[in-house]
Structure 1
Amino acid sequence: MALRQLDEKTVTTLVAEATAAPSMHNAQPWRFRYVTAEQLLVLRGDPDRAMPSSDPDNRALHIGCGAALFNLRVAAAHTGLMPETRLLPEPRDPLLLATVRLTVPSGPPRDQDDLVRLQPAIRQRHTSRHPFADRDIPQEVLGALRDAAAQEGAALLLPGPWHTETVLDLVHDAESRDTMTSEAREDLERWTRLGPEADIAVDGVPEYAFGPRKRDGKAPQRDFAGRRPVADRGATAFEHTPHLALLSTPGDTAADWLRAGQALERVLLEATLADLATSLTSHPLESPDLRPLIRDPVSGRGHTQMVLRLGYGPRGPATPRRPVRDVLEIA
């Protein structure tokens, strides 16, 4: 492998692709530093964007940063670079999440085609909080999504009907808790953007991305408005048989969370290329007593890191992103 001097434009483009990743409440909890002499991109978690009420151990922060890391790997491969990634390289610095050395392959790049293929989906992928069609997803598509998770060391479980009902009940329980306790609403209200603020936001979930209120149906859908009024927001029926998928990892450490984030983004990009709309919910995973109940009741193995909703429908609007200059330092 050889180093190639990267210009500022290339580094900025790589980080812009990375930051198109999803994160809890679109808080974008990442910071990047490019060390020019070493051709090294350093990824750090941003504690100012942590969520002490709903994510006290920073699990969701790690997952969001892991998703950004995967996008960075895809963007680097698309540029002809070989990303050499290390997770948690300094145990005494827990918010130093990963380093990525960008090298030029000496020969034909190995195992890069699968990453390059996903690059167009980075900008096409959006979280959709709209109804999906009550339509089956082909088994070959579901198999490709399972394989995508496995490539990153995670598992994607497609629950059967009664397990799906259990997950939906747990989502409902989590929603009910939010309405009863002000602490549960603190993070959500901090990261939602209403009224004129939505038009100029660079982070958070703006009201135009809330989607309609659920009038009927069983889709797990967090209502970001809560009890707050949102102008011109109607209600509609959602699917009665939602297609859910549970992403899990064997362990539940910081490294597992980062792998889960990379697996999550690989699955989402694969789904986007297959013309699927996607949304995510971590709602019941934010409660220590509810989270273990979501895991596969048959095998009882693994730790659920995310609940995905898949289907055919509108992809939803793009949500805002911070300018790269606000998240990237070049040294």
Structure 2
Amino acid sequence: MTLTPALIESLLTEAASAPSAHNTQPWVPEITDCTAEVAQVRVGVDPARLLPHGDPRSEDLHLGMGCWVESLVIAAAEAGVRTESVTVRGRGPTLDIRLRLTATESMASVESTAGPTRVESALTDGSAWPRFGVADLHHRQVDRGPLKRSDPRFAEATEICRNVMAETAVRLVEVPDDAWRGWLRRAALHSYGNRSVFTETLRWLRFDTDDPAYDQDGLTAECLRIPALGARAAATLDRPWLHSWITGLASVSLAPVALAGSGLRKFARSGRGSRLTMLPRSLRESLSSTAAPAEPTKGSRPKRRHPHHLVLAVPDRPALTAADEVEIGRVLLRTWLTFDRHGLRVDVHSELKDSPTVRDEVATFLRGRARGHTDCQEFDRPIAAFTVGSSTTPVPRAPRLSPF
């Protein structure tokens, strides 16, 4: 195996398939040195692709960068290139990640490695996780459409993930559907009722197919599962001079209406509600239902079987470093790839941990689940939240930027 700039560039292109918040793709990779035996890669952050209001602690940024790193490691391993070290410095806009890649004689000798962090890497044991490749990176997708519950496949995939995580500072915790929907409803209203967060989100929504950025980044109408008619209406409204009006409608109208009970359903079904077709599905669903359905009475239809909901949890103390969160991002990607390998996809709901009130309630739930367990520490900080199920419709492909 001989390393060449062209080979390393092809690996960086594969790494660009990694997931990121709002599909911002904030990574800026460069090859700083390349010989026939060793290549040095640096990846920094594009400040124009940050979410300072929606992700003020840079947690989602670090997770996304970790997903990028693991995507590169997986692609390199398939090409017979060893990732000898991953070094993380800085945080947020100053995050600086260095990777050392070396040529190997055979693919069988390639292992995924990482520098020491509090997470105590769950990536060093190649036999614990399934062996992933470039095809897995390409097949993985976030599905924002309806997901179908699949208990056997879910049980098998989660057992693999939990076994690998058992000796690390990361845990997968399942959340009951009623609690999940209640948290999701209030978290969505919090996020889109905040003027700064909502304005920031609008910047990454893509509805007009003539938009030069439509095929590059952000959340397209197709990916958000917005019908064609709604997308055309949203594209008409998605004009810079209208953004302040739309933001005002969201921040002034949504939160108070959320307290109005049945009035919220009337709002969602009214003409005014149709102006919000540009919002992601999680918020539109929160506008159509203000409470979990009642338990079925005798003779009624059986309660619908909802997909599974999971929280990736870590200890709240001591504080995680940026390197820890990058490492968790690597674990998160492998978790999603494991589900995908079992025919399951995820729908990510970061808003559950972005709302301070909901995040505290989730932490209380996690502490309650920890009681009676033998873990020496409480896994009481939600760092990622997502729904898992099998896709019921074809999943649109998210747009991607070229890394060069």
The structure whose residues are more often helix, as a share, is: 2
Q: Quote the residue 1:201 is aligned against.
A: 215
**Based on CA coordinates, which of the two structures has the bigger radius of gyration?**
2
Amino-acid identity (%): 24
Cα displacement (A) at 1:150: 5.4
Q: Quote the residue 2:182 is aligned against.
A: 169
Of stretches 282-291 and 48-57 in structure 1, the one that deviates more from structure 2 is: 282-291
Which TM-score applies when normalising by structure 2? Answer: 0.67
Look up the SS of the partner of 2:131 in the other structure: helix
Cα displacement (A) at 1:82: 1.0
Name the Cα RMSD after superposition. 3.1
Partners of 1:246 and 1:305 within 8 A in 2:
yes
Aligned: 1:49 with 2:117: no
The structure whose residues are more often strand, as a share, is: 1
Aligned: 1:297 with 2:310: no
Look up the SS of the partner of 2:151 in the other structure: coil
Cα displacement (A) at 1:130: 0.9
- Equivalences for residues 100-119 of structure 1 within 5 A: 100-105=99-104, 108-109=108-109, 111=111, 117-119=131-133
- Distance, in Å, in 1 between the alignment partners of 2:187 and 2:362 is 12
Partners of 2:170 and 2:379 within 8 A in 1:
no
Task: Tell me: CA distance 1:318–1:70, structure 2 relative to 1, closer, same or farther (3 Å).
Answer: same
Task: Tell me: CA distance 1:311–1:229, structure 2 relative to 1, closer, same or farther (3 Å).
Answer: closer
Task: Tell me: CA distance 1:171–1:226, structure 2 relative to 1, closer, same or farther (3 Å).
Answer: farther
Task: Tell me: CA distance 1:189–1:92, structure 2 relative to 1, closer, same or farther (3 Å).
Answer: closer
Partners of 1:26 and 1:203 within 8 A in 2:
yes
- Distance, in Å, in 1 between the alignment partners of 2:97 and 2:61 is 13
Look up the SS of the partner of 1:53 in the other structure: coil
Of stretches 260-269 and 311-320 in structure 1, the one that deviates more from structure 2 is: 311-320
Q: Quote the residue 1:248 is aligned against.
A: 313
- For residues 276-296 of structure 1, the C-alpha deviation after alignment (integer angstroms, 9 at most, x for no partner) is 122211012112333232231
Q: Which runs of 5+ in 2 are unaligned?
A: 113-125, 228-272, 289-303, 371-377
Q: Quote the residue 1:277 is aligned against.
A: 345
Partners of 2:308 and 2:389 within 8 A in 1:
yes
Partners of 2:173 and 2:312 within 8 A in 1:
yes
Look up the SS of the partner of 2:142 in the other structure: coil
| Aligned partner letter, 1:50 | L
Look up the SS of the partner of 2:13 in the other structure: helix
Task: Tell me: CA distance 1:306–1:55, structure 2 relative to 1, closer, same or farther (3 Å).
Answer: same
Q: Quote the residue 1:9 is aligned against.
A: 6
| Aligned partner letter, 1:81 | V
Cα displacement (A) at 1:44: 1.4
- Distance, in Å, in 1 between the alignment partners of 2:4 and 2:178 is 52
Q: Quote the residue 1:221 is aligned against.
A: none
- For residues 9-41 of structure 1, the C-alpha deviation after alignment (integer angstroms, 9 at most, x for no partner) is 211211111110111000011111112246111
| Aligned partner letter, 1:103 | T
Task: Tell me: CA distance 1:317–1:198, structure 2 relative to 1, closer, same or farther (3 Å).
Answer: farther
- Distance, in Å, in 2 between the alignment partners of 1:91 and 1:61 is 12
* Aligned partner of 2:20 among 8, 20, 23: 23
Q: Which runs of 5+ in 1 are unaligned?
A: 214-224, 326-331
Task: Tell me: CA distance 1:98–1:148, structure 2 relative to 1, closer, same or farther (3 Å).
Answer: farther
- Distance, in Å, in 2 between the alignment partners of 1:282 and 1:39 is 35
Task: Tell me: CA distance 1:191–1:152, structure 2 relative to 1, closer, same or farther (3 Å).
Answer: farther
Cα displacement (A) at 1:274: 0.9
Cα displacement (A) at 1:256: 2.2
* Aligned partner of 1:210 among 221, 224, 241: 224
Task: Tell me: CA distance 1:18–1:150, structure 2 relative to 1, closer, same or farther (3 Å).
Answer: farther
Task: Tell me: CA distance 1:254–1:92, structure 2 relative to 1, closer, same or farther (3 Å).
Answer: closer
Which TM-score applies when normalising by structure 1? Answer: 0.81
| Aligned partner letter, 1:65 | M
Partners of 1:153 and 1:263 within 8 A in 2:
no
| Aligned partner letter, 1:132 | L
- Distance, in Å, in 2 between the alignment partners of 1:301 and 1:226 is 41
- Distance, in Å, in 2 between the alignment partners of 1:243 and 1:192 is 27
- For residues 80-112 of structure 1, the C-alpha deviation after alignment (integer angstroms, 9 at most, x for no partner) is 111023232x45997333211111346751546
| Aligned partner letter, 1:318 | R
Aligned: 1:146 with 2:162: yes
Cα displacement (A) at 1:323: 0.9
- Distance, in Å, in 2 between the alignment partners of 1:45 and 1:147 is 33
| Aligned partner letter, 1:303 | R
